[in-house]
Chain A
Amino acid sequence: AQSVSQHNHHVILSEAASLELGCNYSYGGTVNLFWYVQYPGQHLQLLLKYFSGDPLVKGIKGFEAEFIKSKFSFNLRKPSVQWSDTAEYFCAVNAFGNEKLTFGTGTRLTIIP
């Protein structure tokens, strides 16, 4: 079975700072990788996903993530954060061909104006 770990539980940044949230997974086979965001009071929304091709994935709102297979990592990055990026961020993985998603514990991001 796969598992996902997110090392940062709570990150606090000032506006315009650069962001990198860590995500590592454990699974020996081919995987699909996702980053979801949950804004306060809203439902989970997809930020970006990787399932094949270029390991550098661009998502919405200026976010990107890089799949490094050798490190089993899929870190989320944004060069300059905004106050509106304050939210909970979840990394998730499913095994190729399997619909079941396994989520990381989430990272709470707080942006200070």
Chain B
Amino acid sequence: GAVVSQHPSRVICKSGTSVKIECRSLDFQATTMFWYRQFPKQSLMLMATSNEGSKATYEQGVEKDKFLINHASLTLSTLTVTSAHPEDSSFYICSINRDSDSNEQFFGPGTRLTVL
């Protein structure tokens, strides 16, 4: 069964608005969650590591004020795309790490964001 869920699955918004995407760990308390971005026909790029109870760690080139991450509980992390623009249109995917030995990650189904 599903280990990670995301909501919404797709969202269309106007330029300048903010969009919140939720990532839930369904049967595991995840102190760490990961947020990726996938452009069409391209690979997944890690955006940030979400840490429960502390600030997220952003990858180089990712604007932390643009992509706000909140990890308020062990089962929920949110990504807010602030003042979205058409170039932010992408597929956003979250994941959790349930196996500390192999660091295997389990991925959510993704959220398709389209900014008009």
Interface residues of A (CB under 8 A from B): 32, 34, 36, 42-46, 49, 51, 90, 94, 98-106, 108
Contact = CB atoms under 8 A, between A and B. Distances in A.
Interface stretch (B11-19, B42-50, B73-81): B42-50
Contacts, number: 53
A98 B46 CA distance: 13
B102 A32 contact: yes
Given A43-B108, A100-B49, A94 B103 contact: yes
Interface residues of B, number: 22
Interface of B (DSSP majority class): strand
Q: What 9 A-B pairs are tightest by C-beta distance, nearest first? A: A44-B107, A51-B102, A43-B109, A103-B43, A105-B43, A103-B44, A99-B103, A43-B107, A99-B97
Interface of B: 32, 34, 41-46, 49, 93, 95, 97, 101-110
A34 B104 contact: yes
A9 to B, nearest CB: 9
